[in-house]
Structures are given as C-alpha cells and as structure tokens.
Chain A
Amino acid sequence: MIQIEKLNQKYGGTQILWDLNLEVEQGSCTCIMGRNGVGKTTLLKCLMGLLPPSDGRILFEGKPIEGSAAQARAKLGIGYVPQGRDIFPLLTVEENLLIGLPARRDGLKKVPEKIFELFPVLRDMLHRRGGDLSGGQQQQLAIGRALVIDPKVLILDEPNEGIQPNIVRQIGDVVTRLNEEDGLTVILVEQKLGFARRVGKEFRLMQKGSVVAADRMANLDDGLIRQYLAV
C-alpha cells in the first residue's frame, strides 16, 4: 500500500533520514520503533506531506505522492494523529471533528456515529473547547478526528504519551478493532514495548534515519531490542 524508496530528509544542514526504505502492506498494522531522535516523527511528517523530502519516492497505492500537498494526501485517505496531538485548541470538540468532513470521499455531511461509538467521551464533551480537554481526552479526539476523513491508512505518532492506563488499553483495543474488523492499515510509532507487542502485527526498527530491521512482531526478540532500543 505504501512504499517509501530512498527517502532523504534534511533540516537545513543536518540530514535526518538517510536513504530510508519502508514498505507497508495493505491491512497491516506496522509498528515503527527506535530511540529518541532517530527520525520517526520526521518520517511520518514526510509521509503526510508536512515536510518536503529532499529526495526519494513515496508511493501510495502504487501512485507517487511525494510531490503532492498534505491536504491532497488527506483526501487520498491518509489519516494522521500527530505526536503531541495538535488539537485545535480553541475549536470545540465538535468543530475539531467537523473540520475533516470535506476531505471524505463519500461527501458525508455529519460526523459518523462510529466515532462516538469508539470514543463515548467525545459525545459528552462535544461543546467544550478542544484545548480544555485533558490529555487522554485530547488523544481520543485526535484519533477520532483522523477517522472522520474515512482514511485508508491511519498514522499514529506515539498515541499513548501521557495517557492513563485504562485509556491506553482502550486505544489499543480501538486500533486493533479498526485494523482487524475494518481492514484499516495502521502505521504506529510506539516506544512502549508492551503496547507495541499487543497492537502491532509487524515491526520496523529505525536507527540513524533508516530502517534497519523489519519483521513480524512475533519475531521481535531481545537481541534486536538490545541492539536498537537500548541506550
């Protein structure tokens, strides 16, 4: 579904991504892991079109998208939950959700019920400002918001940062459900091994801006962890 070939990315003078290759299958749930600062967020931003890559190709369903703008990618069906959530703080929860509607391909004019089913809190909070929500609620809102555009791929950047345990679990369940029941392709950046193991089906390990290991989650062993995830 997504193929990234020889992606390079620089911030000014410093190169962050180095000839990065990555392939994500349709319907998979891929977990990207790596130490702080290896470039996970950067990679996702490139994928979403929020950072222009210096060089390389990104294919979405076989078509190159590296030149297209972020809004076009959203319309193609890439949903993005950024690190730090990036809720629109002064919009109400409802407005945060409504924003994505025009990007849907089916022209639906109201927020799909499914989202409130997945995250019942959102219904209670509908008229509060997004910025006033607590962290966990914001995280749920961010995921719900990404789902509004009816994505084919859902990108989640550390969705559990600062979230209370029971909601972490709930998010995990939702992601698994979306992936398994609805066949949604999921790309997940996650630091916590437990969660990654429970939710992810595949893993990719990153080091110094490139993907250095890729396999099924079951095969993530202590050796790899020590090599790439320890300090």
Chain B
Amino acid sequence: MRRDTAWPFLVPRRRSVDVSKQVILYLEDLNVSFDGFQALNNLNLYVNDGELRCLIGANGAGKTTLMDVITGKTQCDSGSAWFGQNIDLLAHDEAEIAQMGIGRKFQKPTVFEAHTVFHNLELSLQGSKGVWSALTAKLSSSERDRIDEVLKVIGLEKLRFQLAGALSHGQKQWLEIGMLLAAEPRLLLIDEPVAGMIAEEAERTAELLTSLAGKHTVIVVEHDMEFVRSIARTVTVLHQGSVLAEGTMDQVQNNPDVIEVYLGEEV
C-alpha cells in the first residue's frame, strides 16, 4: 500500500511533480460514461516531459472529456491518472490540480468577462491562490513585466483595459492562451486554440506552442490539419474513447483507419 493512499494527511501538501522517469502524464485504462454512453473506453496514454503532443480525433471522440478527467472536472468510472511519478490526479480537485501545474484552455473560450484584459492576466499569474494572500496581494514589478510580456505575445496590448466581455471570439481565444502563459504551468492542455483564427494567426500560435515545448509539456487538441502538421512531433488519434493510432504526422496521415474515421478520402 502506498503511503499517500493510506495516510493522505502525512503527505506534504504542495509537491512538485516528480518526472524522474521522463514521463509526466500516465493515463491508464480510463473509462468515463455519461448516462450509459461510453465517452472514454479503456484509454491509455503516456506523455513525456517537455513533449508537444497533438491529440486529434473525430468530434465526440472524447478529447475534451480526457482533458476534463486530467483536470479533475469529470470523475472517471475506473482507471488511473498520474501526474509524474508521484501525484494521483484522481485524488485531487480542480483547484489543487491547477496549483500543481496543469493549465487548461477550454474549447469555448472562457475568460472573466467583467474584468479587463489586464486583470484577467493578473488573476492567472502563478503564485499563492489562497484567500488571505489574495486579499493582501500587491502586483510586483516583475509580475507587471510578465503581464506586459504576455500581452505582447497575444497581441492585445492596446486592449489591455478593455473588458474581456467585449472582445471578439478570436480575441478571447488569444486572451485565454495568454492566461495560460501567465500561469506558467508544467503541463498545458490546449483545446482547439486556432478555431476561428485566420491562417496567419494560426501560424503565430503554432510558433508560440512550439517555443513552449521543452520547458513545458503541451497537449494540443485541434482539427485544423495544417496547423497540426506545422507543430506536430507525435500525434495521437482518439476514436470512440480509445487510442486509435499514435505516431508521427506522416504515419498517422496514412493510416487507413484514421483516414476513414477522421480525415476523409483525400488530404
């Protein structure tokens, strides 16, 4: 029996993730069902530290659900999910998981609409998220610089005092990416970042994500094949809740199963 399953209170509360085996995410035999519908079906997935992994798959294949399980939003019926060697994700709730360094961008851009762009980023900054520290928090100059930096990256410098609710769809996408950047998580889960972006912006996003890889681990879900091709090293294809194929972009693209259920006849 593991120490932390028997005596959870013996375990120090904030731990950094142990990636001594180079693998940062272990997902094993995950099952999730909704009202009898099997959204994840014995799914197994391993992601290496510092990797940039693309996750593709038909609509409804379970990509978002997978992220929900990792981030604690959805309880899985069975299986295990470990963050590095030492953290059992299934034993923690959303906030704890986020504090341990897993950040997430939603499929539908989700930002704090009543706050300005600047404050959205401020709230996302890494640091203590406790009630007391929030009450006494003061923005340090390094934090300020960090926000400015992010603003520049996401191209919303001019709109920094605009309320986020008044941004267009694409701008909200960028802001949400910016919030992720500000939080500097170990593992980034990015659900459809370029939906609604024009080609050039998609390119910029691709660059950004590539540059993040290495220092951070990035998992990207995207349907835009051009975009995926431009960033992908390893691609995992999900189908009906399990992994259908995994490999380089070329391998995946020529996999007849993948063509059949996802890509369509000619590419």
Cross-interface CB contact of A134 among B60, B155, B166, B225, cutoff 8 Å: B60
Chain B residues 155 to 208 lying within 8 A of chain A, measured CB to CB, are: 155, 166-171, 192, 195-201, 204
Indicate whether B4 reaches chain A with its CB closer than 8 angstroms: no
- Decide if A163 touches B59 in the complex (CB within 8 Å): yes
Cross-interface CB contact of B262 among A11, A158, A164, cutoff 8 Å: A164
Cross-interface CB contact of A162 among B57, B107, B226, cutoff 8 Å: B107
- Decide if B196 touches A191 in the complex (CB within 8 Å): yes
Total number of B residues with any Cβ neighbor in A under 8 Å: 33
- Decide if B263 touches A135 in the complex (CB within 8 Å): no
Q: Chain A contact residues (Cβ within 8 angstroms of B): what range?
A: 20 to 34
- Decide if B225 touches A36 in the complex (CB within 8 Å): no
The smallest C-beta distance from A35 to any residue of chain B, in angstroms, reads: 6
Cross-interface CB contact of A36 among B107, B108, B168, B223, cutoff 8 Å: B168
Given contacts A169-B264, A192-B224, A231-B204, contact A137 B60 (CB under 8 A): yes
Give A41-58 as 1s and 0s: 1 = Cβ < 8 Å from B's Cβ atoms.
100000000000000000
B-side contacts of A37, CB under 8 Å: 167-168, 170-171
Indicate whether A21 reaches chain B with its CB closer than 8 angstroms: no
**How far, in angstroms, from A169 to B266 measured CA to CA in the complex?**
10
- Decide if B223 touches A164 in the complex (CB within 8 Å): yes
Chain B residue with Cβ nearest A35: B198
- Decide if A158 touches B171 in the complex (CB within 8 Å): no
Cross-interface CB contact of B225 among A135, A165, A193, A230, cutoff 8 Å: A165
What are 20 contact pairs spanning A and B, CB under 8 A? A36-B198, A36-B201, A37-B168, A41-B168, A84-B108, A134-B59, A135-B60, A161-B196, A164-B59, A165-B262, A166-B261, A166-B262, A166-B263, A169-B264, A191-B196, A192-B224, A229-B198, A229-B199, A230-B198, A231-B198
